[in-house]
Amino acid sequence: MPATPPTNGTYVCHGITWATGEPRLLLALLSGGPPAYAEIMNQRLGFQVNGTDRWCTGRYRFADAVRVEAVPCPDRALVEQNGQCSRCQSQDDFRFAHRFHHGGHAPEALTTYMAQPHWLYLATFADGTSKVGTAAEPRKRSRLDEQGTLFATYLAKSADGRTVRLIEDALTRHIGLPQAVRATTKLQALADLRDLSQARAKHEHNLARAAAALTDMNIPTAVESWTPPSEGDRLRTADSERSLYPHDLRQGEHGLRPISCVGSQVLALVDNDDEMAYVLDLGALKGRLITLGEFSSQSSAVQSALF
């Protein structure tokens, strides 16, 4: 997945990906062709969102027995209620993964993918909320990198994807840890971050609870700390000089320079304002038609979050 520098043009935005080991904007040219993995860190990102329509973000296919890769929608189709058109959805074998452990339909490629080792993890976000999740061995690192978490720990390693998802469900039943956290919750928590100690304490508390529950279920633990990527260091540091971005990313023109990234959330500077850094979620662009170019954010006086 070579990096493709952002160039002027019109794209269907697929959001942020960490599949390459660093945050990149995944873009599909409206005119067709393979996806572009555009670097965003410490580079100016100017774009205009075209209209309010949502566009198909394609599908994932199995590149081999253990890897998946993004495939843009060949029709660049409009969608209404979900992120995929009917054609891409029907060809997306990976869509069966979430029900795989309940014995539902499983294409051969998905069955092979799920047969490889998987990891169970605990992730804690800036507001102290913790969740449990799973990742296939090749996605062990990138899966957590893309979550937007402050602290995370791998809890157990399973021989296959079916078993690890059954363990995940059992852990949720036993101690009530959720398996998802809303993107808006992650974003607001990062904007409000002033003290890391609460989130750290919540993570350690829930880690102890989860480990004890796994032991009670006779499931061997394999506790291993996740090392957060350096691109998120600034966002993960308690810093009062930040505020929520005052504009809706899903419309209008924007000019940003991301200086830190946690998951799909970024800390960015805007043109002609080096005093305040803004927290925003580039994931909000997923499915939007954007034109890259010399666009700028509207000026807006934003009071420091310190007051």
Dist. CA 243–CA 232, nearest whole Å:
16
DSSP element (H, E) containing 267: strand 265-270
32 or 145, which is more confident? Answer: 145
pLDDT digits (tens, 9 = 90+) for 241-272: 899 999 999 999 999 999 999 999 999 999 87
Dist. CA 203–CA 124, nearest whole Å:
6
List, in order, residues 6 or more apart from 224 with CB less than 8 Å away: 153, 154
Dist. CA 176–CA 144, nearest whole Å:
20
pTM for the full model? Answer: 0.89
- By DSSP bridging, strand 273-281 and strand 265-270 are antiparallel
Contact 23, 41 (CB under 8 A): yes
Question: Mean pLDDT over residues 176-198, rounded?
Answer: 94
Residue count of the chain, please give it: 307
pLDDT digits (tens, 9 = 90+) for 135-179: 999 999 999 999 999 999 999 999 998 899 999 999 999 999 999
Question: Mean pLDDT over residues 77-81, rounded?
Answer: 87
DSSP element (H, E) containing 183: helix 183-191
Dist. CA 161–CA 106, nearest whole Å:
12
Residue whose pair of structure tokens reads 């994932």 in the numeric block:
60
List, in order, residues 6 or more apart from 98 with CB less than 8 Å away: none
In this model, does residue 306 exceed pLDDT 90?
no
Residue type present at position 101: H
pLDDT digits (tens, 9 = 90+) for 194-229: 899 999 999 999 999 999 999 999 999 999 999 999
Residue type present at position 72: P
Least confident span in 98-102, 232-236, 292-296: 98-102
The pLDDT value given to residue 304: 40
Dist. CA 124–CA 21, nearest whole Å:
21
Of residues 59, 27, 56, the one with CA closest to residue 40: 27
pLDDT digits (tens, 9 = 90+) for 82-131: 889 999 988 887 776 666 665 666 777 778 888 899 999 999 999 999 99
Of residues 91, 106, 281, 84, the one with CA closest to residue 182: 281
Residue 143 Cα to chain centre, angstroms? 8
Dist. CA 261–CA 134, nearest whole Å:
22
The pLDDT value given to residue 114: 84
The pLDDT value given to residue 65: 66
Tokens of 284: 């909000």
3-state secondary structure of 269: strand
CB neighbours of residue 154 within 10 Å: 18
Of residues 153, 152, 112, the one with CA closest to residue 136: 112
